Amino acid sequence: MNKSDAPSPHPAVIAILLATLIGANAVLVSWPKENRQGESHSMSGPITLAARTESEPSPRLIQGRTLDEWREIMLTLDHNDATRADSVPALMEIARTSDFPWFTRRQAAVTLGRWGTAATAAIPLLEELLDTPEEDAGEAPVFWALKGLSLFGPAARDVVPKVSTIALNPHRPVEQRLAAMECLSQIGSANPSGLLPLLQISQINVIESAPLILRRGSIEAIGYFRGGAPTAVPVLMRALDDPDVEMRREAAIALGRQGLTAEIAQTALFDRFVSDDDPTVRDAAGIALGQTGLIILPAVISLLEEKDPELRLRSAVILGKMGRGAASAAPALKALWEDPDAEIRLAGLKAYWKVTQRGDSVAPNAAAELTDSNRNIRREAYLLLVALGSSARTAQPVLEAQLESNRPEVRSVARKLLRMPQTSP
């Protein structure tokens, strides 16, 4: 093929090549139109080039910082930093602005709540966000606004009416209703009216409506009112008989948090402590017994003579939690020092010390448990001797005798305890 026979390059290709040669900042604007009559392309038309004028939009600034910079500040700024109040208006703007990413708005709302008293100006804004349209997902403003308000605690007392409406609304997503109940629980007795929707939800018949998780959540939330919910005690006592294990456990915990206000529940708690089928319910009821008074004390003491070793053990532990108020249990607890079960012996030693505040007679018996074959028993005995402080000096003869043991682990622990100030002569 002769060079003259080669096809002419398309003018658009020439224009692009020319733009490339001129520089990366030049862009093609126009080139000659093709001959509509099928004639050959002509290079006689104008080729126009123009400098690039487009650029990326500048990032939006909030108080002189980009959104990325504010994200970093929210992650790293100490929540106790005295200067955090200066950043509150910016975080409020971030939480308010609907075209910002939801996760950044949520981060701002939660951070404001964590800043507490320094950021209370944000509470009305978060309350306004509760009026946004209902959504199912956790990224809904309602959901994370509730989370932020929960962190403010009692300072958010004025939002209780609106939050109560969300908690009671059966058309709201379960996640939002649970978040609303959590918010009411954290505000607590600072606004007692927040207790009413929780009581209402806790008594909804399962067949009729609310998922079980909502009823559980309401019982747990009531517990956070602590001694400020005497009217809830009968409701919590009924929940101790619920067929659901978690409901019974949460009811026992909630009653314990009411303290002496729930003293009338001691008999019901005692029944759960002794006979509930679930060990977590038994344990929760036992702890609650130690928190709600001493009416049931004689009945608990009587359990120390039961044949069931687990019942003797748990009873000793609960009496220890009652402290000096259970001093009348001292003789029965001392009798446990001769129990054939090492774990029960140790529980009796600990409880006796806690109810009498006398460790002189406890220390030698605790030291004797350092030779037990069970490593956990030896560890607990060691910790008890350390906790006894100066009272542990009475264990010195026992510890010195253990220095002659043929078991290296026994000698090592005895030597360590003898070096401690409280056990040294």
Same domain? For 338 and 350 the reply is yes
Q: Does one domain contain both 307 and 344?
A: yes
381/425 same-domain check: yes
The answer to whether position 101 is within a domain reads no
Q: Which residue has the higher pLDDT, 369 or 137?
A: 369
Same domain, 353 and 313: yes
| pLDDT for res 29 | 39
Write out pLDDT tens, residues 35-63.
Answer: 444 444 444 454 444 444 445 567 789 99
In terms of domains, do 329 and 378 share one? no
Q: Does residue 133 surpass a pLDDT of 90?
A: no
In whole angstroms, give the CA distance from residue 24 to residue 228.
Answer: 73
pTM: 0.76
Q: Where are the beta strands (DSSP E) in 197-306?
A: none
Report whether pLDDT(1) > 70: no
| Number of other CB atoms surrounding residue 167 within 10 Å | 27
pLDDT on residue 77: 85
Q: Which of 9-13, 80-84, 193-197, 213-217 has the lowest mean pLDDT?
A: 9-13
Mean pLDDT of 399-410: 95
Final residue of a structural domain among 358, 383, 403: 358
Question: 190 and 154 in contact (C-beta within 8 Å)?
Answer: yes
Of 54 and 27, the structure prediction assigns the larger pLDDT to: 54
Q: How far apart are CA 113 and CA 218, in angstroms?
A: 22
Residue in the block written with tokens 């003491």:
301
Average pLDDT over residues 70-95: 90
For residue 416, tell me if it sits in a domain.
yes
137, pLDDT greater than 60: no
| Residues 338 and 399 placed together within one structural domain of the fold | no
- Please tell me whether residues 381 and 333 are part of one structural domain: no
User: CATH number of the domain that 300 lies in?
Assistant: 1.25.10.10
282 touches 270 (CB < 8 A): no
pLDDT at 2 over 80: no
Q: Do both 371 and 401 map to the same domain? A: yes
Instruction: List the one residue out of 207, 303, 292, 281 whose CA is nearest residue 257.
Output: 292
Judgement on whether residues 348 and 384 belong to the same structural domain of the protein: no
Mean pLDDT score, 184-208: 87
| Exposure on the CB side of residue 332, measured as CA atoms within 13 A | 22
Domain that holds residue 26: 8-51
Residue 198 lies in a domain: no
Q: Which of 308, 343, 358 is the last residue of a domain?
A: 358
What's the pLDDT tens digit per position in 161-192? Answer: 999 999 999 888 899 999 999 999 999 999 99
Find the mean pLDDT for residues 74-95: 90
Average predicted confidence (pLDDT) for the chain? 86
Query: 325 and 294 in contact (C-beta within 8 Å)?
Result: yes
On the question of pLDDT at 228 being above 90, the answer is no
What are residue 171's phi and psi, to 5 degrees? -90, -5
Give the pLDDT score at 421: 76
Examine the domain organization and report whether 342 and 390 are in the same domain.
Answer: no
DSSP string, 409-421: HHHHHHHHHHHST
CA distance 205 to 211: 10
DSSP one-letter string for 281-320: HHHHHHHHHHHS-STTHHHHHHGGG-S-HHHHHHHHHHHH
Asked whether residue 316 is assigned to any structural domain, the reply reads yes
Identify whether 167 is part of a domain: no
- Which residues, listed in sequence order, are joined to residue 28 by a DSSP beta bridge? 49
CA distances from 153 to 86, 146, 149, 198 (A): 22, 11, 7, 16
- Please report the pLDDT score of residue 56 as a whole number: 57
* 302 and 345 together in one domain: yes
Q: Token pair of 20, please?
A: 């490339």
What is residue 87's predicted lDDT score, i.e. its pLDDT? 93
pLDDT at residue 181, as a whole number: 97
Q: How confident is the model at residue 204 (pLDDT cuts 50, 70, 90)?
A: confident
Counting Cβ atoms within 10 Å, is residue 337 exposed (0-12), middle (13-18) or buried (19+)?
middle
Amino acid 55: pLDDT: 54
pLDDT in tens, 319-350: 999 999 999 999 999 999 999 999 999 999 99
Q: Could you give the CA distance from residue 320 to residue 301 in angstroms, rounded to a whole number?
A: 11
User: Total structural domains in the chain?
Assistant: 3
Of 333, 358, 383, the one marking the end of a domain is 358
Residue 277, pLDDT > 90, answer yes
Band (22; pLDDT cuts 50, 70, 90): very low
**Spatial separation of the C-alpha atoms in residues 199 and 222, rounded to whole Å:** 8
pLDDT at 33 over 70: no
What is the rounded end-to-end Cα distance, in angstroms, of the chain? 115
Structure tokens at 386: 């350390």
Instruction: From residue 76, give the alpha-carbon distance in Å to each of 70, 79, 84, 108.
Output: 10, 9, 11, 13
What's the pLDDT tens digit per position in 369-386?
A: 999 999 999 999 999 999
Q: What are the C-alpha distances in Å from 220 to residues 96, 112, 268?
A: 31, 25, 18
The one-letter code for the residue type at 170 is P
Considering only CA atoms, which of 377, 351, 371, 378 is closest in space to residue 362? Answer: 351
Q: Does residue 285 belong to any structural domain of this protein? A: no
Look at residue 225 and tell me whether its pLDDT is greater than 50. Answer: yes
User: Residue 211 belongs to what H/E stretch?
Assistant: none
Structural domain includes residue 314: yes
Tell whether 394 and 416 lie within a shared domain. yes
C-alpha distances in Å from residue 240, one per residue of 121, 243, 253, 254, 396: 41, 9, 10, 10, 48
pLDDT range class, residue 266, cuts 50, 70, 90: very high
For residues 211, 212, 216, 222, the Cα torsion angle rounded to the nearest 10 degrees is 50
Cβ-based neighbour number of residue 272 at 10 Å: 26
72 residue type, one letter: E
Residue 292 burial by Cβ neighbours in a 10 Å radius (0-12, 13-18, 19+)? buried
Instruction: Count the helices and strands in the chain (H runs, E runs).
Output: 22, 2
Residue 210 three-state SS: coil
With respect to residue 379, please indicate whether it lies within any of the assigned structural domains: yes
